[in-house]
Amino acid sequence: MSIKVKPVSKEFAREHLLEIAALRIKVFKDFPYIYDGSVDYEVKYLDRYFKASSGTFILAFDENIGNKIVGVATALPLVEEDDFVKKPFLDLGKKIDEFFYFGESVLLPEYRGRGLGHAFFDEREKVALSFPQIKFTTFCAVQRPVDHPMKPTNYQPLDEFWQKRGYQKDSQLTSKFEWLDLGESHETEKNMVYWLKSWNR
């Protein structure tokens, strides 16, 4: 299987926006996000990466299927994120210009276990460290109850993978994100907790 993971221009990402949105909707239906997605929501959400001067799209392409997009990851400096993402850092007196924020990383199930998750982190960290002021990379993950009724019996959280990448959970840093869960009639708040990696620069 020949898969290429690389940053793409915003112009390329915009040209393939509907394909990227469909991919995200499909992957995020699974636990723990159980997201009942829509193209309208995705287009609005992803717009932050197009507007940000340093918004970044990393795509995974299957070269054996006409360069089909099979995964996507996003990133941007924290200073360019929405206020509700920056707020927990500001509340703790963090210098947000020292942080690079990684958005979601999604990959079709049949392509997992092949090192592509590491490739997404490698590429985003490379972008982050191209900014001399960046001392931390960070992302957040949804916190579902351990007894959530939609949690699969074989569910394996990604905590160990993230820890191996050098990230540590900081329970002081939390935000509320809103989206529509499967089976819901309206969007509800979800608890998100941040993971950080220090680069000691």
Cα-Cα-Cα-Cα dihedral sign, residues 194, 198, 199, 201:
positive
- DSSP β-ladder status, 188-198 and 168-179: antiparallel
24-33 average pLDDT score: 96
Query: Is residue 196 scored above 70 in pLDDT?
Result: yes
- Classified by CATH at the fold level, domain 3-198 comes out as Aminopeptidase (3.40.630)
Domains of the chain, by residue range, sit at: 3-198
Confidence band, pLDDT 50/70/90 cuts, at residue 1: low
Nearest to 101 by CA among 175, 161, 31, 32: 175
201 pLDDT band (50/70/90 cuts)?
A: confident
User: Tokens in use for 117?
Assistant: 């998750």
